[in-house]
Structure 1
Amino acid sequence: MSSCNVLQNPSFESGSLAPWKATVANSVTVLNSSSGTPAADGYSFAQIKTAIDNGGRSFYQNIKDLKPSVEYTFDAQIQVPWDSPASYCAVYAYMGHNVTFTGPRKVAHADIQETQLGIWMSLNGTYTPKTSHGVLSIFGYCDLEDPSITSEVFVDAVSFAPTQC
């Protein structure tokens, strides 16, 4: 993880989600390696519980002191547990509060197939802010045959740092 990371609590080692915030109460929690899944970095990681009816959930962090017109590199580790009932999941990182899967605010995107369950994978991309303040959001979504159940996506080791750091 870059020493120039502008994010606070990037590996959730405080044991709390703060200063990250979930867009829906109780949809994102912090777990630790004693839960049965080793963290990608350190001991803790974030868990996004997807919504019933195959909806996704997200969490975000407000960022200050960004350098406009400077390219930032985004990196995170993501995983869908090996015992997930999902046949497909996706994780997006984007700037702002409104989910955007395409366009200039999209930072990164990864599709997770059934064969990749239980494996920490890299999610990365770049973004060039236009202003000195921003909101970095991470969105997890899973497609399930039974829309009355939920799945989960794990996130760890999140970095957002100037590319030329």
Structure 2
Amino acid sequence: MKGYRISLIATAWLATIGVATAYEIDCPTRINIKSDHPELEATPEGWQVSINKNRSLLLTSLGVYSDEPVKLFELKPEIGIIDGKKHDLTWQINSAYDENGNYVKCSYNGEEVQLAKKIDPSMKSCWAIYANDENQHTTAKLICSTSKLQEVE
């Protein structure tokens, strides 16, 4: 029985070797913002500013950046293979060129509002999945892996 238990533990441990670790970052589908009274340099005569206090913004897109998105180093997606599966939108990340790491940016209402999140530095590649929710709003998910990106030839 003791030998069987050790064999079972060894088999379970060996099964984990070579398995890539993955994690997901989901962009929120909708965000709510509070609009402040805009400051106009001069309000045209006879006009007043209409205030729309609160609004919802819908997700427009997802992007991957080298360094913080404010520095505008967006990485170009490419077709690639990660963990044996082909994906249309892939990125190799956390390379020697990415000194300050990589970030995912979720954009709302075009580029009106962006949310950014740092990607775990142990990840080596990512792919994006876009879909529509039950209300036909765009959803986006970034899935990252510790495996390196393989180029499609």
TM-score over 0.5 for the alignment? Answer: no
Structure label with greater radius of gyration: 2
Give TM-score, length-normalised by structure 1: 0.30
Higher helix share: 2
